[in-house]
Amino acid sequence: MRADIREGVRRYVNDDIKPNFAALARQYNCDYRTVKAAYEAARHPQPERRRKRKSVFRINRKPIVSSIEPVSQN
Protein backbone atom coordinates (compact mmCIF):
# COMPACT_ATOMS: atom_id res chain seq x y z
CA MET A 1 0.00 0.00 0.00
CA ARG A 2 1.23 3.48 -0.77
CA ALA A 3 2.84 5.41 2.05
CA ASP A 4 1.27 8.74 1.07
CA ILE A 5 -2.22 7.26 1.40
CA ARG A 6 -1.37 5.75 4.78
CA GLU A 7 -0.04 9.09 6.02
CA GLY A 8 -3.13 10.95 4.82
CA VAL A 9 -5.48 8.47 6.43
CA ARG A 10 -3.53 8.38 9.71
CA ARG A 11 -4.61 11.96 10.43
CA TYR A 12 -8.25 10.90 10.30
CA VAL A 13 -7.60 7.89 12.51
CA ASN A 14 -5.80 9.98 15.14
CA ASP A 15 -8.67 12.50 15.22
CA ASP A 16 -11.23 9.66 15.23
CA ILE A 17 -12.98 11.03 12.11
CA LYS A 18 -14.44 8.90 9.35
CA PRO A 19 -13.13 10.37 6.07
CA ASN A 20 -14.86 10.81 2.75
CA PHE A 21 -13.13 7.99 0.87
CA ALA A 22 -14.12 9.27 -2.57
CA ALA A 23 -12.65 12.71 -1.91
CA LEU A 24 -9.41 11.22 -0.62
CA ALA A 25 -9.29 8.87 -3.60
CA ARG A 26 -9.50 11.83 -5.98
CA GLN A 27 -6.82 13.63 -4.00
CA TYR A 28 -4.41 10.68 -4.15
CA ASN A 29 -5.49 9.57 -7.64
CA CYS A 30 -6.48 6.05 -6.63
CA ASP A 31 -9.57 3.95 -6.02
CA TYR A 32 -11.75 4.66 -2.98
CA ARG A 33 -11.41 1.03 -1.90
CA THR A 34 -7.64 1.50 -1.61
CA VAL A 35 -8.18 4.46 0.71
CA LYS A 36 -10.74 2.52 2.71
CA ALA A 37 -8.35 -0.43 3.09
CA ALA A 38 -5.63 1.93 4.34
CA TYR A 39 -8.09 3.49 6.80
CA GLU A 40 -9.18 0.11 8.15
CA ALA A 41 -5.57 -1.08 8.41
CA ALA A 42 -4.64 2.04 10.38
CA ARG A 43 -7.66 1.71 12.68
CA HIS A 44 -7.13 -1.96 13.50
CA PRO A 45 -3.46 -2.87 13.06
CA GLN A 46 -2.83 -6.59 12.87
CA PRO A 47 0.04 -7.99 14.91
CA GLU A 48 2.67 -9.72 12.86
CA ARG A 49 2.33 -13.46 13.10
CA ARG A 50 5.34 -15.64 13.54
CA ARG A 51 5.33 -18.66 11.32
CA LYS A 52 5.60 -21.88 13.25
CA ARG A 53 7.78 -24.45 11.59
CA LYS A 54 8.06 -28.11 12.30
CA SER A 55 11.19 -29.11 14.12
CA VAL A 56 13.85 -30.81 12.04
CA PHE A 57 14.19 -33.31 14.87
CA ARG A 58 10.47 -34.18 14.68
CA ILE A 59 10.65 -34.75 10.94
CA ASN A 60 13.69 -37.07 11.17
CA ARG A 61 12.97 -38.52 14.61
CA LYS A 62 12.99 -42.25 13.77
CA PRO A 63 16.37 -42.33 12.00
CA ILE A 64 17.93 -40.21 14.74
CA VAL A 65 16.52 -42.26 17.62
CA SER A 66 17.49 -45.55 15.96
CA SER A 67 21.06 -44.34 15.50
CA ILE A 68 21.30 -43.25 19.14
CA GLU A 69 19.94 -46.48 20.67
CA PRO A 70 22.72 -48.74 21.94
CA VAL A 71 23.34 -51.96 20.07
CA SER A 72 22.44 -54.96 22.20
CA GLN A 73 25.47 -57.07 22.94
CA ASN A 74 24.97 -60.84 23.11
Residue 73 lies in a domain: no
Residue 5 lies in a domain: yes
Is pLDDT at 16 greater than 70 in this prediction?
A: yes
Residue 19 lies in a domain: yes
pLDDT digits (tens, 9 = 90+) for 23-73: 999 999 999 999 999 999 999 888 888 877 777 666 666 776 677 766 666
Length of the chain: 74
Residue 20 lies in a domain: yes
Count other C-beta atoms under 10 Å from residue 5's C-beta. 20
Q: What region, left, alpha or beta, does residue 39 occupy, with left being phi > 0 and alpha being psi -120 to 50 degrees?
A: alpha
Number of domains observed in the structure of the chain: 1
Residue 36 lies in a domain: yes
Residue 70 lies in a domain: no
Range of the domain at 5: 1-46
CB 43 within 8 A of CB 9: no
Residue 22 lies in a domain: yes
